[in-house]
Structure 1
Amino acid sequence: MRVKTLRIGLVAAGLLLAACSDQGGGSAPPGGGAPSAIEVGVVVLKGQSVPRHAQLSGRVVARATAEIRPQIDGIIESIVFREGRQVKAGDILFKVRDAKFRAAYAAAAAALSRAEATEQSAQVAFDRNERLQSQSAVSQQSLDEARAALLQAKADVEAAKASLETARIDLDNTVIEAPIAGIIGTAGVSVGSLVTQNQTDALATIRQIDPVNVDLVDTSANLLRIRQDVEAGRLGREGEGAPSVRLTLENGADYKAAGTISLATVNVSESTGTFTLRASFPNPERILLPGMFVRASVDLGTMPNTFLVPQRAVQRSGAGEPIAYVVSADSKVEQRTLSTEGTSGNDWIVTDGLKDGDRLIVDGFQKISAGAAVRPVDVTIDEDGVVKQSLAGPAATGDASGAAQ
Structure 2
Amino acid sequence: MQLKPAVTALVTAVALASLLSGCKKEEAAPPAQTPQVGVVTIQPQAYTLTSELPGRTTAYRIAEVRPQVNGIILKRLFKEGGDVKEGQQLYQIDPSVYDATLKSAQASLTQTKSISDRYKQLVDEQAVSRQEYDTAVANRMTAEANVQTAQINVRYTKVFAPISGRIGRSSVTEGALVSNGQTDAMAVIQQLDPIYVDVTQSSAEMLKLRRDLESGQLEKAGANAAKVKLTLEDGSAYGQDGKLEFSEVSVDQTTGSVTLRAVFPNPDHTLLPGMFVHAQLQAGVNSKAILAPQQGVTRDIKGIPTAMVVNKDNKVEQRQLVANRTAGAYWLVEKGLNAGDRVITEGLQFIKPGIEVKVKDADNAKPAGSAPAPAAAAGQGE
TM-score by length of 2: 0.85
**1:37-76 → structure 2 map (5 Å cutoff):** 37-76=34-73
- Per-residue CA distance 1:261-284 (angstroms, 9 max, x = gap): 122211221111122222211111
The answer to whether the 8 Å contact 2:292/2:332 transfers is yes
Match of 1:244 among 218, 227, 233: 227
Code of the residue aligned with 1:322 in structure 2: it is P
Q: Which amino acid aligns with 1:103?
A: A
- Which 10-residue stretch deviates more, 67-76 or 181-190? 181-190
Is this contact kept in 2: 1:186–1:204, CA < 8 A?
yes
Query: Radius of gyration: which is bigger?
Result: 1
Matched, 1:292 2:289: no
Q: What is the rounded CA distance, in whole Å, between the counterparts of 2:114 and 2:243 in structure 1? A: 64
SS in 1 for 2:253: coil
Q: Distance in 1 between matches of 2:135 and 2:354?
A: 107
Q: Provide Cα deviations, 1:297-329, integer angstroms capped at 9, x if missing partner.
A: 222232211122110111224553322222221
Alignment partner, residue 81 of structure 1: 78
Deviation of 1:335 after TM superposition, in Å, equals: 3.0
1:171 shift after superposition: 0.8
Pick the aligned partner of 1:109 from 102, 106, 111.
Answer: 106
Name the CA shift for 1:304/1:122 in 2 (closer, same or farther; >3 Å): same
- In the alignment, residue 293 of structure 1 is paired with which amino acid? F
State how far apart, in whole Å, the 2-side matches of 1:260 and 1:209 are: 16
Whether the 8 Å CA contact 2:224–2:282 is kept in 1: the answer is no
Give the SS at the match of 1:380. Answer: coil
Do structure 1's residue 378 and structure 2's residue 375 form an aligned pair? no
Contact 1:310 1:348 in 2 (8 A): yes
Identify the residue that residue 327 of structure 1 maps to in structure 2. Answer: 310
Identity among equivalent pairs (%): 37
- The residue number in structure 1 matching 2:369 is none
- Structure 1 Cα separation of the partners of residues 363 and 198 of structure 2: 42
Following superposition, the deviation at residue 116 of structure 1 comes to 3.4
Letter in 1 for 2:322: S
| Alignment gaps of 5+ in structure 2 | 367-382
The change in CA–CA distance for 1:77 and 1:323 in structure 2 (over 3 A counts) is: same
Pick closer, same or farther for the CA change 1:338–1:148 going to 2, 3 Å: farther
Partner Cα separation in structure 1 for residue 4 and residue 324 of structure 2: 84
Give the root-mean-square deviation of aligned CA atoms.
2.8
Who is 1:395 aligned against? none
Matched with 2:166 is 183
Listed one character per residue, the Cα deviations across residues 220-264 of structure 1 (whole Å, up to 9, x for unaligned) are: 121112212221223334543652222222222221111111222
The code of the aligned residue for 1:6 comes to V
TM-score (norm 1): 0.81
1:330-349 to 2 correspondences below 5 Å:
330-340=313-323, 342-349=325-332
What amino acid does structure 2 have at the position aligned with 1:70? Answer: P
Give the match for residue 211 of structure 2.
228
Q: Distance in 2 between matches of 1:192 and 1:330?
A: 92
Distance, in Å, in 1 between the alignment partners of 2:17 and 2:148 is: 126
Q: Distance in 1 between matches of 2:269 and 2:343?
A: 48
Deviations 1:285-308 (A, max 9, x none): 111111221222222232211122
Deviations 1:30-82 (CA, angstroms, capped at 9, x unpaired): 8xxxx543322112221111121111222122111112111111111222223
Aligned partner (choices 149, 156, 160) of residue 166 of structure 1: 149
> Relative contact order (C-alpha < 8 Å, sep 6+): which is higher?
2
1:356 aligns with 2:339: yes
**Structure 2 CA distance, aligned partners of 1:154 and 1:267?**
57
Shift of 1:114: 3.5
**In structure 2, C-alpha distance between the alignment counterparts of 1:208 and 1:182, rounded to whole Å:** 4
Q: Bigger CA drift: 97-106 or 210-219?
A: 210-219
Which residue matches 1:306? Answer: 289
The structural deviation recorded for 1:153 is: 3.7
Q: Which amino acid in structure 1 is aligned with residue 106 of structure 2? A: A
Please give the residue correspondences for 1:10-25 in structure 2 after superposition, counting only pairs within 5 Å.
Answer: 10-19=11-20, 21-22=22-23, 25=26
* 1:91 and 2:88 correspond: yes
- Local SS of the residue matching 1:211: strand
Which amino acid is the alignment partner of residue 18 of structure 1? L
Amino acid at match of 1:82: K
**Are the counterparts in 2 of residues 37 and 374 from structure 1 also a CA contact under 8 Å?**
yes
CA distance in 2 between partners of 1:241 and 1:125 (Å)? 79
Question: How is 1:134-173 mapped onto 2 (pairs within 5 angstroms)?
Answer: 146-173=129-156
